[in-house]
Structure 1
C-alpha cells in the first residue's frame, strides 16, 4: 500500500524532519528545536530538495525566535542566526526564499511566522499536484509511445518537497493514469539519492522501476529505452538555464542527441528572476570525503583529491519543457 511521506512537520516547539540520510534502512525522525541542529540537518542533507528547504527555512525563522526567547538573545544574535539558516546551502533559491517570505512577520511573533510557514507548505503541495497534471498532459501530447518509459535523476518526490513531488509528481500522475511502463532512476552519485530515496518512494507507490548507475543514463537513452526524461530543479535562471543535481546536464545532452524530450519540473518558488543566466548560479561544492570514501572507508589513494560539485547547470537550449503550477514553457521553441 502506498504511503504519503511528509519530509517535515511543525509540532509546536520545533520541526520534525525525516532524516533522509538513514533511508531506506529505517525511518528516523529528528526533533529540531535549535538553529545549529537545523543548519546541520540542512548541510548533511538530512533535509534536502529545493521546496523542502524552502519550508525548512521558513520554519527555521520560528525556531530561531523561540531559541532567542529561551536564551535571551539580542536582536543582532537573532539576525545572525537567521542569516546562517538562509545561507546554509547556496544553490537552491528556495531556502533563502522561505526565510525571506516570513521575515516581515517577525515583529508579529512566532505564531504569525509559523502560520506563514504552514502556508508555504500548503502552497507547495498544491503546486506539486498542479505540476503533476500539467507535466503529464504535456508529455502525453508530445510523446506517442504507450506505455511510457521515463528516466529521472536524483530525488524529486515527497521527500524533496512539502508533499507529492515535482518531477516524481509527474511520474506518479502518469502511473495513476495507467500510461507508465517503467522508470529508470539514476542512482545519483556520490550520495545515492536516486537509489536510496527515489527508488524507495517508487517502491512505496508500487511503480515499476530500475535503479541504474549514473554512467548508464546516456547509453539507456541512446539505445532507445527511454521516451522522456523528467528532472527537478534547485534554481531556474531568468533565461531558463536550470541548476539541478550533478549529472543532469549529461542526461539533457543525451536526450538532445536522441531526439526525446528533456523536461524540468519545479514550482514558481524555484524560479529566480534576479539570476540572469546559469553562469551566475553559485554551485555548491561538498566535502571531498563524499567521493574519496565509502561508508567511512577510504577508497582512493591518500594523495588523491576530489572535485565534488553538488549541482550542474543545464542550458535552456537543451530543455524542451519547464513545468510549473502555472503551466508549461518551452525554452527551445
Structure 2
C-alpha cells in the first residue's frame, strides 16, 4: 500500500534546471491546497517573494540564489561587462521584494561575488559557477538547520512544553526549519515535547503552516490564539520558547514576525527562557541595534479583509500593519546558531560566532 504524501515530502524550493525554472510550494494556499508554482521570469520570482508564496528567511535566501541564477541564464551575451550590467539590474530588482529579511540580500550578494571573482572566465563558465553556488546555498541551509537543531535540543529536556511563534519550520527552510529543528530532532528521539503554536496574525503562519507541518510529522502540537500565549505561560505549560528571526543586529536585538516582542516580554515576566534560532546568514554585524532595522509595512487588507468572507473592519479605518517587530536583546536567553549558542553580552558573543564561521 502506497504511503500518502504529507507536506513534509515536498521541497519548499527546488531548481528545475532542465526547464529553466524554480519550483516552489505556494504557501499562501496551505493548508487547504498543496499547489506547486513554476517560476521562470523576474516578475514571477519577485512576486513569489513579495506575496509570501515563498517565505521564511532561509527559504527566501535559497529562492534568491536559484532566482538570480535562472535570470543570469537568460542573459544573451558573451561580453562580461554587458553580462554583469544586466546581472546587477536583475539582482537589484529581486532585492527590492522584501527589505527586512537579510537572507535575501545576503544570498544575492553571495551570487554577485561569484560573478565579480571570475571576470577572467567566459560567461558560460560564470553561469555554471552561479548554478553551483545556488545549489550550495540550499545544501548549506540543510546542514545549518540540523546543527541549529542539535544546539537547541541541548537547551531543553524530554517532555518539555515549547511555545513557538510564526513559522520557522521546514516550510521556511529547505529541511528541519530553524525554531522547529530542535522539535523535529527531539521528536525523532522520543522526547515527546508538547508544542504550542501561536496562530500569528494577520497572515496566520502559525495556524496554516506550523500547526500543519508539525501535525503532519506526528508532533503533539496545540494551536492557540496569539493573545493566549500569556495564559499558557502562566499555567506553567511552557518551559522554553523557540522562535526564528529575519535579522540579528550586532547588539543581539532581533527582527522577527510581529508579535515576537510581545511573547518575549511575557516570557520575561514568567521567567521562561526565550531562544532565537538564527542561522549566521541572518546575523548583521553592520547593523548596530534593532533601531536601524527597516521594518516592512504590509497592505491594510491583510488585517481588515484577508480570511474573512466579508470585510471585518470599518471602511476607511486607518490600519498599521508592520510585518515584523524588534525584540530587545535583554529579553533573549540565547541566540542559537549553527556554530553554538550566543549569550549576553551579544556584542561579544556574536562576534565570536562569526569568527568561528569565518575560520
Is this a same-fold pair by TM over 0.5?
yes
SS in 2 for 1:68: coil
Q: Which residue of structure 2 aligns with residue 15 of structure 1? A: 22
1:323 aligns with 2:336: yes
CA–CA separation in structure 1 for the residues paired with 2:10 and 2:163? 22
Specify which structure has the bigger relative contact order, considering alpha-carbon pairs within 8 angstroms and separated by 6 or more residues.
Answer: 1
CA–CA separation in structure 2 for the residues paired with 1:69 and 1:234? 35
1:1-333 correspondence runs (5 A)? 3-12=8-17, 13-69=20-76, 76-106=85-115, 107=123, 108-140=125-157, 146-295=158-307, 297-331=310-344
Gaps of 5+ in 1: 141-145
Distance 1:255 1:295, change over 3 A: closer
Deviation at 1:63, TM superposition (A): 2.0
Q: Greater shift after overlay, 60-69 or 111-120? A: 60-69
Deviation at 1:65, TM superposition (A): 1.4
CA–CA separation in structure 2 for the residues paired with 1:74 and 1:316? 43
Q: Give the TM-score normalised by structure 1.
A: 0.93
Aligned residue pairs total 327
Q: Which residue of structure 2 aligns with residue 143 of structure 1? A: none
**Contact 2:183–2:193, Cα closer than 8 Å, also in 1:** no
Gaps of 5+ in 2: 116-122, 347-359
**Contact 1:18–1:46, Cα closer than 8 Å, also in 2:** yes
**Contact 2:102–2:247, Cα closer than 8 Å, also in 1:** yes
**Contact 1:318–1:332, Cα closer than 8 Å, also in 2:** no
**Contact 1:167–1:231, Cα closer than 8 Å, also in 2:** yes
Deviation at 1:258, TM superposition (A): 0.4
CA–CA separation in structure 2 for the residues paired with 1:6 and 1:232? 20
